[in-house]
Structure 1
Amino acid sequence: MISTRLTWKVSVIGEPGSGKSSLISRMAYDSDSVSGSLRGLIRKKLNVVYEGETRNVEFLFQEIEGFAGADNLLSSSNGVIIVVDITNPVDLKGLAKFIDFISNFGKNPLIFIAGSKIDRRYEAKIWEEDLEPLKKNQNTKLYMVSSRQSETVKNMLNDIAVSLLKRTLERK
């Protein structure tokens, strides 16, 4: 039996302008407007139904700007959301190396790739098919989201909660 309340630290990392702050704002406050108060750990409580039972879970979101030197901040994370702006070209080989790197240290965090800004598809430089090869194992999931389309973010957050809950139960 696990405790009724679970708390997970989830780091949200990406290049400047990729949509990290807007995504955190949508996940935590159900708003796409970013305020200056998105500093430190942002708390979000959520009820998740898993195997017919409702669980109270809590996320602590941490925003990380850029990939260089992020290893210290990521080491205590249960999950990592890598935000990729689909309207800007990205080094997919470098991103694949980063995913390999973080999947082998610390708490062995679950990795989630969020292709952001799908509301601007007509400007896309990166497509879902380009990001698919980055899902090398079961611990990496891909979502196409927009902070302006709340349902896409809500579905992603719920799936992340279920994934983290499954992992927690497997380790007990």
Structure 2
Amino acid sequence: MRVLFLGVITAALSCAACSTVNEPEPAARTGFMASLPAMPSLPTIHMPNVNLADLHLPGTNRQAPQVDPDLEAVVYWRVIDDDILVVHADTHGCTVRSDFTVDVEQYDGDIYTVRLTRNEPDRCSQNLPWGVQLGFGFEELGVPNGGSIIVLNPIDQRAWDWNEPGRTAQTQR
């Protein structure tokens, strides 16, 4: 009997709480929310600005390798077939591989950094805007198969105009 009485009371209260009889539609939707006390205002929190470069990954104390502005700029560099580093060095016609000292350091795991330092200045006078390609095998650099290389020499900032006459050649049949 007691359970039945509680069930009837619960059903009556539920119907009364949800009933919209004799109430305008907007009041029925906001009546319950209007009866709640106002929420306290939150204190103003001034969060510091955080740069992504300031963040560290858990378990590491390293930041990304930085370009060394004291080194000679290279025109371009790339890796071919995952085992040959090709550097386009600025030249006036007399630059060869032996003109550079190559320093390789293991950065992290299979990532290595490379610094190219010119031993002697190029004293020739030819106009070679694309520089000269210098190839270095990973094996001679001490980089294992599957390793990655990051050249720390800055990239030359000269403006290349790809549409300049003489810069590109079209072939005809």
Same fold (TM over 0.5): no
Greater fraction of residues in strand? 1
TM-score range, shorter chain: under 0.3
Greater fraction of residues in helix? 1
Larger Rg: 2
